[in-house]
Amino acid sequence: MSKGNSTPLTDELYAYMLGHNPPLDPVQRMLVDVTHTKFPTFAGKQVAEEQGPLLAFLVKLTGARHVVEVGTFTGLSSLSMAQALPSDGTLLTCDVSEEWTAHAREAWEKAGVADRIELRIAPALQTLGALPREPHIDMAFIDADKQNYVGYWEELVPRMRQGGLLVVDNVFLHGGVTDPDATGAAAAIKEFNERVKGDDRVDSVMLPVVDGLTLARRR
């Protein structure tokens, strides 16, 4: 097995990469700063700085008009995707925390995209299960509690239109997926990764983006 011509991501190279990506706009930057200031213990839940532009790029690449997100936190990912939607596009995002998502709501308003975003405060499996069953979702992003990834997947895949894109974060779980004795969240992600690998409803690829990112296209 060869890893190919992989390049270690040093701090200097990471800064170089960010310098050649679309920069965060003032509202996005404010949201990153607020999250790290107010929730330093949980700031790792926020998508990495390079993931916002990537998600926006994927929205535009797929021509998505209806996006579903599982896991809002303070709203950087939903903000990035909503800004990339057409003016009549919609984004449904699911979370259980009023405290965290209050900062998301504020950022969406400041960025002028609040009218494109619907936030539902409830267990995401409940929210997803209540959606129309027919395929209608253009793009979905999963970045929430790891134990329910399989459940989220099973609710979303049948509702994805043909060619729709699922994006799933943290599929490496900081390397825990390679532990043969993995328990808890790592065991849940291992189960999820095997489910995706064997799912003939989708074409999928796993990439070493931040903590591992899976992209899956509905057949």
pLDDT value for 51: 97
**Boundaries of every domain in the chain:** 11-42+49-218
Cβ–Cβ < 8 Å for 172, 101: no
pLDDT value for 1: 64
User: In sequence order, what DSSP letters do the residues of 111-157 get, joined into one string?
Assistant: HT-GGGEEEEES-HHHHHHTS-SSS-EEEEEE-S-GGGHHHHHHHHG
Structure confidence by residue, pLDDT tens digits, 13-68? 999 999 999 999 999 999 999 999 999 999 999 999 999 999 999 999 999 999 99
Q: How confident is the model at residue 203 (pLDDT cuts 50, 70, 90)?
A: very high
| CA nearest neighbour of 191 among 155, 162, 150, 158 | 150
Structure confidence by residue, pLDDT tens digits, 168-179? 999 999 999 999
Q: How confident is the model at residue 2 (pLDDT cuts 50, 70, 90)?
A: low
Is the CATH number 3.40.50.150 carried by domain 11-42+49-218?
A: yes
pLDDT value for 156: 98
* Predicted TM-score (pTM) above 0.85: yes
pLDDT value for 214: 98
pLDDT value for 6: 79
